[in-house]
């Protein structure tokens, strides 16, 4: 059982940005950025989001810019 789980190939993630053809991540687009933050307001890891490392950096910067302008929360109390 444990061996079978170790051998299981991880499912290949589709890149959500390439799928929608997004090339520029705008800090004003909060609807898009909200997909990349948890309900606590934290930026999701790349292994979760499935984007490239360059895109992840752009997302991180956009989220931080959006936070400065109070478009996104720094923290949110989960429910």
Partner 1 sequence: MRHYELMVILDPSLEERTVAPSLDQYLNVIRTAGGSVEKLDVWGRRRLSFEINKKAEGIYAVVDLQATPEAVAELDRQLRLNESILRTKVIRPETR
Residues that bind partner 1 (CB under 8 A): 24-28, 58, 61, 65, 67-74, 76
Of 13 and 28, the one with the shorter C-beta distance to partner 1 is: 28
Closest CB 60 distance from partner 1, rounded Å: 12
Closest CB 47 distance from partner 1, rounded Å: 23
Tell me how far apart the alpha carbons of residues 34 and 38 are, in angstroms, rounded to a whole number: 8
Of 10 and 24, the one with the shorter C-beta distance to partner 1 is: 24
Q: Is 27 exposed, middle or buried (0-12, 13-18, 19+ CB in 10 A)?
A: buried
Give the residue from 57, 55, 44 showing the smallest Cα distance to 21. 55
Tokens (6 digits) for 61: 């910067």
Of 25 and 51, the one with the shorter C-beta distance to partner 1 is: 25
């Amino acid at each position: 059982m444990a061996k079978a789980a170790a051998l299981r190939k991880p499912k290949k993630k589709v890149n959500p940005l390439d799928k929608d053809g997004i090339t520029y991540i705008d800090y004003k687009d909060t609807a898009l950025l909200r997909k990349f933050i948890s309900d606590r307001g934290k930026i999701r890891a790349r292994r979760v989001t499935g984007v490239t490392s360059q895109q992840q950096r752009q997302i991180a910067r956009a989220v931080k810019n959006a936070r400065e302008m109070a478009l996104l929360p720094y923290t949110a109390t989960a429910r």
